[in-house]
Amino acid sequence: MRIAVMGTGYVGLVTGACFADLGNHVICADVDEDKIGMLKDGEIPIFEPGLTEIVRINAKMGRLEFTTDIEDAVKDSKIIFVAVGTPQGADGEADLNQVKAVAETVGKAMDGYRLVVNKSTVPVGTGDVVGQIIEESQTENHPFDVVSNPEFLREGSAVHDFMHPDRVVVGCSNQAAGQMVAELYEPLDAPIIITDILSAEMIKYTSNAFLALKISFINEIANICDGVGADIKEVVAGVGMDGRINPAFFGAGIGFGGSCFPKDTLALIDIAAKAGYDFRVLRSAVDVNYDQPKRFVKRMGEELGGLNGKKVAVWGLSFKPNTDDLRESPALGIVRLLKDEGADVTAYDPASADGAKAEIPWLVTAENPYDAAKAAEALAVVTDWNMFKEVNLEKLKGLMARPLIFDGRNIYDPEKVRAAGFEYYGVGRR
């Protein structure tokens, strides 16, 4: 199958590389010339485990190409995946400008039947909008279908998630078009849910909203644990084993971030409002998430007797481990809050230090976690990279001015850390 993927970001590049790996001919198109230039040179613009190998192998085999010529990509392919950004717009609604621009180009460039598959996360009803734009942009009347195929991959394990999905959702009004998309996924041996376009679009927001709810819910339980002396890890172990609940996305910490949950929760609140419904539970989840990093920094200030002039080490900057993505990272939020309180912050992150410095010019970063902790009066662990779990506690203690750890991701065993001579505060830990 000849496929074009519009947008070579976290979703588009993984989608393109994986479909190429499954034996299709894929052309990935993007308006960002630097990104495409890097990809043509075999360099991967993002940090994503396993992606470099799969891109290089498939490019070498001639199955994966890159271009900035969007029209050419449309002409070259029968199936066009749309994987451009849908960032947060005014009032929380999703900004559809990139999706609309692609739809217009497709309409103008198509010279025969095209199947347009929307993988971007878009408000319910966008399938129709895309169809209308394509129709209005055409100079000749070529047939086309629009299918919704939301993506559920997680950054940090994106290639694995794409290749091993829990399910594939295909929303269509023309069953034959839906079937064509379903066939692309058949080699993955995953359940394929074929539904209507509106429901498919709703499925994506519902999934993300529910996961965000789970995180805010368990963060509130952790905050209560802090007050009553229970331990959130014990609570989650006991509750998560209930098959109706399950332990995924059920860890307490400094809150959710990233390129999806923050914007998708707000977008669903906006979708609901436009449909005349006040989505109260989700609004609360967003509020709780907004407060969680503040609580963490407040706690640090209380233990340190104020943060002004205090030397603080911060481990982690990306919104989660195994990615360099800084979008809506609660770690960056904490760095900013610490600075606002007058702390002297030195941070370390194995993948996103340069990106963070581009965003926060005053940010001081270290070459490794130990250097960041030198002479620090406190260490805040705010992204749960594995390398932080395996740290040499004795060495760390020797470097710090005061052996005090604030574990924003609950990665350490409090007893072990305390036995190593540290003062330890987690989120909801005894």
Ligand X SMILES: NC(=O)c1ccc[n+]([C@@H]2O[C@H](COP(=O)([O-])OP(=O)(O)OC[C@H]3O[C@@H](n4cnc5c(N)ncnc54)[C@H](O)[C@@H]3O)[C@@H](O)[C@H]2O)c1
The residues binding ligand X (CB under 6 A) are 6-12, 29-32, 35, 70, 83-86, 98, 101-102, 120-121, 151, 153, 155, 259-260
Dihedral sign for Cα 333, 338, 340, 344, please. negative
Length in residues, the chain: 430
Dihedral sign for Cα 38, 43, 44, 46, please. negative
Q: Which residues pair with 313 in a beta bridge?
A: 346, 379
Catalytic residue (one of 18, 28, 172, 260):
260
| Amino acid of residue 213 | L
For the bound state, the minimum distance from the C-beta of residue 51 to ligand X, rounded and expressed in Å, comes to: 12
Cβ proximity to ligand X: between 74 and 372 the closer is 74
Cβ proximity to ligand X: between 6 and 404 the closer is 6
Residue with tokens 């058949």: 186
Residue with tokens 């086309």: 144
Per-residue DSSP letter, 68: S
For the bound state, the minimum distance from the C-beta of residue 222 to ligand X, rounded and expressed in Å, comes to: 25
Is 18 in the active site? no
Cβ proximity to ligand X: between 167 and 280 the closer is 167
For the bound state, the minimum distance from the C-beta of residue 9 to ligand X, rounded and expressed in Å, comes to: 2
For the bound state, the minimum distance from the C-beta of residue 118 to ligand X, rounded and expressed in Å, comes to: 9
Closest CA to 148 of 135, 136, 130, 166: 130
Cβ proximity to ligand X: between 27 and 338 the closer is 27
- Start-to-end Cα distance in the chain: 56
For the bound state, the minimum distance from the C-beta of residue 79 to ligand X, rounded and expressed in Å, comes to: 16
Give every strand in the sheet of 114-118, ordered side by side: 64-67, 25-29, 2-6, 79-82, 114-118, 144-148, 168-171, 192-195
Cβ proximity to ligand X: between 101 and 393 the closer is 101
CB of 403 closer than 8 Å to CB of 373: no
Radius of gyration of the chain (CA): 23
Closest CA to 328 of 337, 317, 319: 319
Q: Which residues are identified as catalytic?
A: 260
